[in-house]
Structure 1
Amino acid sequence: MKTPLQPDLDAAIIGSGFSGIGMAIKLKQAGITSFVVLEKSNDIGGTWHANTYPGCACDVPSHMYSFSWERNPGWSRMYSGQPEIFSYLKECVAKYGLAPYIRLNTEMTEAAFDEANDCWQVRTADGKSFTTRILVSAMGALSRPAYPHLPGMERFKGMAFHSAEWKHDYDLAGKRVAVIGTGASAIQFVPQIAPKVARLTLFQRTPAWVLPKKDRAIRRLEQAIFRHVPGAIGLFRNVVYWRQESLGVGFVHPKLMKLAEKMALEHLQSQISDSGLRDRLTPRYTIGCKRILISNDYYPALACRNVELVTAGVAEVRENSIVSRDGVEHPVDAIIFGTGFRVTDLLTPVRLLGRAGVDLNDAWKDGAQAHLGVMAAGFPNLFLLLGPNTGLGHNSVVFMVEQQIGYIMKCLRFMRKRGMTAIEVRPEVQARFNDDLQRRLQTTVWATGCKSWYQTEHGKNVTLWPGFTFQYWGRMKKLNVSEYRFTRVASDNPAGEQEGLPIGARTAGSA
């Protein structure tokens, strides 16, 4: 009998944002040091490295948007900006000694599961390849900018870029700027650029519900207490967690959203005095159906004399202008796309080939699905971080990531203890989980009739968790081994013993 292939690595992590860094930390702490983190960009950080537009910040309180095991007492604001979050991730890499495991400028293009050897064959854009027992996708949903199709865009002679690919060397001062989109990114950068440009024309397809941002600087005394008083930062984090968690009630029971809607309307009325502009900024759908935005300076920016809100839509782009559907031509020098990301298109252009060479993109052609958002049937030893239906509208996704990382570690410990080389969720288990999940989604605020980036083009919500995060935490506390198939590659060892441990048996190696 042929001796089974010993893979080059125990694990490979794709992506170095919060998910990838958190996974790497826990692998190393468990003594699994034969792994790599592949990062396509020239630095770690994921979305917090890519998004550097003016005003970029988190819309979840800083103390929750961080690892529970690496609490930061030095956050400067309640809602930290991109530079501070990026710095936090860099500090995590340094503290936990992850730099030797990270390969920058290395993009995975394809991974194929080797059924004979229970491992993944990984290929990168530079033509190299290696094998790994475990593959962890930490690519995230906010990594591929979404561009709308605008007729005539190829004729435009001015500058054009997406907010996630901000052109810092292009001076907007005195320019006529068009912004396409009014989502979570635009609501942050529009107030920053409005005072600098000669004219800003904002093209809005659908108005967003906007609530006040409870932001403020964190005082030095508070930071000192967090640093030196035992338990203080943990207590504060718990308060923030349960405050955010309470917001989930309205998402699960849409009728309870009336209070939030009232607050948003009062916020709009207090900041926009022009009744006509206020009417165009008033949503006609239940609050929460689309992403709720928070801002204190967005509405005042729209009231500036050099800012125009256009709701007629884009008819075409010309060499030096945009024509709206009401026939008005708007001269512009630059176009900035604040049109978000391809959230429901979770893997393209990466190819993940599971059993029988099935591409995960094809398996998900009718909408992505996975058991607990972590494992997909037919794809052994592949783990997903922030996979299908594990996003949130009310609390921190970092909390969700931590539950998933903990669950993956339970799987790896079980495999190591039993000498198993593969784990795979049973198809019927995945189907049952997702049928229940989609049924629950039908009674949430996201099913009240609006079209959002949470949904596929066919209206299926493959993005959000239909409940509270503590419910997800409860599901992830225990590994139910009956939900999975475990296998061990054949060995020519006459005693029938495994040739070394399948996971964590070696020190860090190079592929």
Structure 2
Amino acid sequence: MTETGEYDVIIVGAGFAGVHQLLNIRKLGLTVKIIEAGEDLAGTWLWNKYPGARVDSPMAIYQYSDPDLWRDWSFTELYPDWREIQAYFRYVDNKFDVKRDVLFNSRVVSAHWNDSVDRWTVTTEDGQLFQSQFISLCTGIASKYHLPELRGIESFKGEVHHSSRWPEKYNFEGKRVGVIGTGATGVQIIQEIAPIVDHLTVFQRTPNLALPMRQRKVSVEEQARLKKELYPIFYGRRYQTFSGFLYDVDPKPIADTTPEELALGFEEKWAKGGLTFWLGAYAELFSNKEFNDEAYAFWRKKVRERIPDPELQEKLAPMKPPHPFGVKRPSLEQRYFEVYSQRNVTLVDISKTAIEEITPNGLKTNDGVEHNLDVLVFATGFDMVTGGITSIDIRGQDGVPIKEKWADGVQSYLGVASATYPNMFWIYGPQSPSSFSNGPSSIELTSEWIIDCIRFMKANNISSIVPTNEAQHAYSEHLNQLGSAGLWSEAKTSWYLGSNISGKKTQMLQFPGGLPAYAKLCNDSAAKGYNGFDLKRSPA
């Protein structure tokens, strides 16, 4: 059945950001609709349900900060898996009847602005039509999956799966499996399936500088104690730290730090696990190459202790760093490095023996070796950060599609809006702190800013708001300067820079200055009557 309608706000995507927007727009008394391509809530955790898929943020801050939600909800593990996140969204729906305002199984294909009436026309793939004053893009940073172009892929007789399009039920027992990619997804899949497959062949381009997760069970009693004493403090603390986690980077200059202090600091952060060794370390990690080498040497020593074979040591934790530590988001692992010592696991370094083609029976590398496979898994990631937005035909005041406009690089103001696209916001997307932060921390901060902006517009009879070109240019230049001051560009292929996708403009795609600095920029603009935006008043 074709659905049409007019709303104050159309939201694209029903993950953490989309649901947060919906619940808070309702509080403004406005009409709102989420359009979701999938069949249920949960966003990235609806699509990413591959073996081992789980978050890399501790459970206390990987949920909404609303006390009406956290009081009655408990996770079972410190780092919840996709099943628990889906269960959490079912709980949120039961609490607030989220789904009554969600249209599922509908993919947005276009959004066109009409400047004469200050309205968006939104069209779905199946021809449904909506109009709204505002559009909120909650497509996330990993909604458009990436498949590399490999010769012969259509000839493969076995099964092919991308990590983000995983079958509901699957049994790997007795299978010969090939995994292409060793990013966060690859790490999780590899350590999960290695004990049960007949043989696992991993095709690695770049070693993953993964950190120990320190996963553990968390009892209901422990969470009850935390809720009573610390949860409100946790949610306030998030906005005070560089990354939205409960720990923070240390601004102390390395030159003023003794070798003993550094050594003990490294050991302490390593023992805590999670991303502490990265986002709870010294701030100079991201800009001081000599110190970064020290951090990498410590990481390498810890990892090599877990790998008996010298050849594997060099492949997985090479003496020369493949890139500065931390310029790619480190993955969290539980037994990843031990996997490669199993007799049924082979590691192929495709930086030296590249993939030549996919054959009917497997995969052939350019050294002439053919690896026989029953299943081929692509853990090859996504067109990160921008892909979810540029896959929609979005046209603003000048009628130019945003994909075309961003072909030479993303331009935004405050990582939340773009010039010539009035009343269009995005959350956890280009030029925001997104992947430098805990997801819900960044999402709630931005979502609340958007809600306040819409409230301000309604109270002051303003029909549209759009960044000026001057403000957009200044913000984007500021972000580029922050990026160039760091070591980010020394990674040859990095989705932080868009360089993992052939033909994509290489640039810093996220705000690397930390959550407090980002919040200040956003709040300063709002305090000055949304400085940097053009505001249009409704006709009397």
Structure-1-length-normalised TM-score: 0.90
Tell me which residue corresponds to 2:35: 38
Q: 1:176 to 1:264 in 2, by over 3 A?
A: same
Tell me which residue corresponds to 2:263: none
Correspondent of 1:418 among 457, 460, 477: 460
- CA apart distance, 1:133: 0.4
Q: 1:250 to 1:25 in 2, by over 3 A?
A: farther
Q: Which amino acid aligns with 1:347?
A: I
1:106-505 correspondence runs (5 A): 106-227=106-227, 229=228, 231-236=229-234, 238=237, 240-243=245-248, 246-247=280-281, 249-250=283-284, 252-255=286-289, 256-258=291-293, 260-282=295-317, 283-311=321-349, 312-343=353-384, 344-456=386-498, 457=503, 460-478=506-524, 479=526, 480=528, 481-490=530-539, 497=540
The answer to whether the 8 A contact 1:288-1:445 is kept is: no
Tell me which residue corresponds to 1:500: none
- CA apart distance, 1:145: 1.3
- 1:94 matched to 2:94: yes
Following the alignment from structure 1 to structure 2, what is the Cα–Cα distance between the partners of residues 431 and 248? 31
Q: Calculate percent identity across the aligned residue pairs.
A: 29
The answer to whether the 8 A contact 2:363-2:373 is kept is: yes
The answer to whether the 8 A contact 1:179-1:338 is kept is: yes
String of CA shifts for 1:111-143, please: whole Å, max 9, x gaps: 100111001011112212121000110011211
String of CA shifts for 1:174-214, please: whole Å, max 9, x gaps: 11111000010110111111111111110001111121113
Q: 1:459 to 1:288 in 2, by over 3 A?
A: farther
Following the alignment from structure 2 to structure 1, what is the Cα–Cα distance between the partners of residues 212 and 104? 38
The answer to whether the 8 A contact 1:451-1:459 is kept is: no
String of CA shifts for 1:416-447, please: whole Å, max 9, x gaps: 12111111111100000001110110112312
Following the alignment from structure 2 to structure 1, what is the Cα–Cα distance between the partners of residues 191 and 445? 36
The answer to whether the 8 A contact 1:204-1:309 is kept is: yes
- CA apart distance, 1:258: 4.2
Tell me which residue corresponds to 1:501: none
Correspondent of 1:66 among 63, 67, 71: 63
Q: 1:234 to 1:263 in 2, by over 3 A?
A: farther
- Structure ranking higher on relative contact order (CA contacts 8 Å, 6+ apart): 1
Tell me which residue corresponds to 2:264: none
Q: 1:263 to 1:60 in 2, by over 3 A?
A: farther
Following the alignment from structure 2 to structure 1, what is the Cα–Cα distance between the partners of residues 145 and 91? 27
Following the alignment from structure 1 to structure 2, what is the Cα–Cα distance between the partners of residues 26 and 314? 49
Following the alignment from structure 1 to structure 2, what is the Cα–Cα distance between the partners of residues 288 and 394? 10
- CA apart distance, 1:55: 0.8
Q: 1:28 to 1:250 in 2, by over 3 A?
A: farther
Q: Which amino acid aligns with 2:442?
A: M
Q: Which amino acid aligns with 2:446?
A: Q
1:7-86 correspondence runs (5 A): 8-32=6-30, 34-69=31-66, 70-71=69-70, 74-86=74-86
Following the alignment from structure 2 to structure 1, what is the Cα–Cα distance between the partners of residues 50 and 20? 25
- CA apart distance, 1:275: 0.6
Q: Which amino acid aligns with 1:486?
A: L
The answer to whether the 8 A contact 1:248-1:468 is kept is: no
Q: Which amino acid aligns with 2:44?
A: T
Q: 1:248 to 1:108 in 2, by over 3 A?
A: farther
- CA apart distance, 1:219: 3.1
Following the alignment from structure 1 to structure 2, what is the Cα–Cα distance between the partners of residues 154 and 417? 57
- CA apart distance, 1:489: 4.6
- CA apart distance, 1:342: 1.1
String of CA shifts for 1:193-248, please: whole Å, max 9, x gaps: 11111111100011111211132211343122134x2x422335548523465347
SS at match of 2:246: helix
Following the alignment from structure 2 to structure 1, what is the Cα–Cα distance between the partners of residues 373 and 280? 44
Q: Which amino acid aligns with 2:7?
A: L
The answer to whether the 8 A contact 1:208-1:290 is kept is: no
Q: Which amino acid aligns with 1:414?
A: F
Following the alignment from structure 2 to structure 1, what is the Cα–Cα distance between the partners of residues 334 and 170? 27
Q: Structure 1 residues 247-256 or 82-91, which shifts more? A: 247-256
- CA apart distance, 1:462: 4.1
SS at match of 1:241: coil
- CA apart distance, 1:251: 5.2
SS at match of 2:216: coil
Following the alignment from structure 1 to structure 2, what is the Cα–Cα distance between the partners of residues 289 and 327? 34
Structure-2-length-normalised TM-score: 0.85
Following the alignment from structure 2 to structure 1, what is the Cα–Cα distance between the partners of residues 39 and 511? 32
Following the alignment from structure 1 to structure 2, what is the Cα–Cα distance between the partners of residues 25 and 259? 46
String of CA shifts for 1:283-330, please: whole Å, max 9, x gaps: 422111222112121111121100000012211111002111221111
Q: Which amino acid aligns with 2:506?
A: K
Q: Which amino acid aligns with 2:437?
A: N
Following the alignment from structure 1 to structure 2, what is the Cα–Cα distance between the partners of residues 450 and 181? 15
The answer to whether the 8 A contact 2:181-2:205 is kept is: yes
- CA apart distance, 1:455: 1.8
String of CA shifts for 1:382-431, please: whole Å, max 9, x gaps: 11111212244553022111121121122112211211111111110000
Q: Structure 1 residues 192-201 or 446-455, which shifts more? A: 446-455
Structure 2 runs not aligned, ≥5 long? 239-244, 249-275
The answer to whether the 8 A contact 2:180-2:204 is kept is: yes
Q: Which amino acid aligns with 1:36?
A: K
How many matched pairs?
A: 482
The answer to whether the 8 A contact 1:202-1:310 is kept is: yes
Following the alignment from structure 2 to structure 1, what is the Cα–Cα distance between the partners of residues 365 and 344? 18
Greater share of helix: 2
The answer to whether the 8 A contact 1:290-1:451 is kept is: no
SS at match of 2:20: helix
The answer to whether the 8 A contact 1:211-1:295 is kept is: yes
Structure 1 runs not aligned, ≥5 long? 1-6, 491-496, 498-511
CA RMSD, 1 decimal: 2.0
String of CA shifts for 1:337-386, please: whole Å, max 9, x gaps: 01111114342431111013111111111122211111100000111111
- CA apart distance, 1:41: 0.8
